[in-house]
Structure 1
């Protein structure tokens, strides 16, 4: 198939993406080989139809008339695109998990993720994206994303620092279905973490 036709196939797929979507070359691997795809995306970048984020990672631009430039990608979206490209399972941890749950308003200096892939650090616009390898795959693949995020937040705060405000804040973010799911799938967590989860779910019930 000619390159113009391949380019058209790439553009057709991009039409289904929302503006500011971050994606990897692997998302188009079924269309053509990586060398040809690299050439196509380079040309589309020059034309302003996509924006390069990192090596092999791109974004469908969203232009801001107010700012007079493209809105930058979300760091968490970059992390997800990297993970998908390399076949990693990831979950935010540390200050990143707290920020995503609204338990901290401070923007993390570094965005940290637990991963079943290798230890890796990337940098985008002065912000480090850190993937920390873990052998505890149960925290990544055997619980829902919301449950995994809450587990990491609780571990980050620490057993003795979790107060009623934290319990209530997390409880308010849970739907009834999420509460029921979390109670079932976290039974084999560290004992103190599961005790806190039961308190959160009771708050969700009684609140």
Structure 2
């Protein structure tokens, strides 16, 4: 006897490690989008999977001290980007937080993308994907790309000496050839700051 869509989805979900994220598109070989969506909703009602956001499901991890562990905004953003075969880069307060320029953990995060513009609403957070030009996603260094976005958020006239020190310390971790490539993509005032990191590499 052939297995139902629910059973086929459940088998695939149970094979995945805890914390894995799923989309309707992951199960379209089992049935139509409508049928898969209905099956996932039934599974949510039974507690077999959890609904993270509209169209996004998970096999959640559990921690003996903290209970259910929900995926981070970064994990969700990366999963969406992978599904859409899109590039993303954090902006604003999120980029600043990752680099240690801000202790603020934003509830509403914004990523630049070359994929579709959209907003994903979570329980108490939102993830916004903002369409941008290819140039803004052409950086090849993870740290240098973040630095550019963080400094743009702070602004030329507001950046402090202490913030520049933190940025330069972070850029020490970047591979020089990636930094050299990305400097060319930055506004001139940011280039001036980033070049100091290259100079310190040469002096080392």
TM-score (norm 2): 0.79
Q: Distance in 2 between matches of 1:175 and 1:13?
A: 40
Gaps of at least 5 residues in structure 2 are none
Gaps of at least 5 residues in structure 1 are none
Pair 1:176–1:43, CA change in 2 (3 A): same
After alignment, is 32-41 or 109-118 more displaced?
32-41
Deviation string 1:101-127 (CA, Å, 9 cap, x unpaired) is 221111114211112244433321222
Q: CA RMSD in A?
A: 3.0
Q: Distance in 2 between matches of 1:195 and 1:99?
A: 22
- Equivalent in 181, 186, 193 of residue 184 of structure 1: 181
Maintained 8 Å contact 2:183/2:195: no
After alignment, is 155-164 or 78-87 more displaced?
78-87
Report the equivalent of 1:3.
4
Deviation string 1:132-187 (CA, Å, 9 cap, x unpaired) is 222x2122145343332221011111223333422332333345553331222331
- Give the match's secondary structure for 1:132: strand
Q: Distance in 1 between matches of 2:164 and 2:202?
A: 12
Report the equivalent of 1:130.
128
Report the equivalent of 1:50.
49
- Give the match's secondary structure for 1:161: coil
- Give the match's secondary structure for 1:129: strand
Q: Distance in 1 between matches of 2:90 and 2:76?
A: 12
- Give the match's secondary structure for 1:20: coil
Report the equivalent of 1:78.
76
Pair 1:89–1:177, CA change in 2 (3 A): closer
- Equivalent in 112, 115, 118 of residue 113 of structure 2: 115
After alignment, is 160-169 or 96-105 more displaced?
160-169
Report the equivalent of 2:144.
147
Superposed displacement of residue 94, structure 1: 0.8
Report the equivalent of 1:167.
164
Maintained 8 Å contact 1:121/1:131: yes
Maintained 8 Å contact 1:57/1:81: no
Pair 1:126–1:34, CA change in 2 (3 A): same
Matched, 1:38 2:37: yes
Pair 1:82–1:131, CA change in 2 (3 A): same
Maintained 8 Å contact 1:171/1:201: no
Superposed displacement of residue 197, structure 1: 1.3
Q: How does 1:183-202 map to 2 (within 5 A)?
A: 183-202=180-199
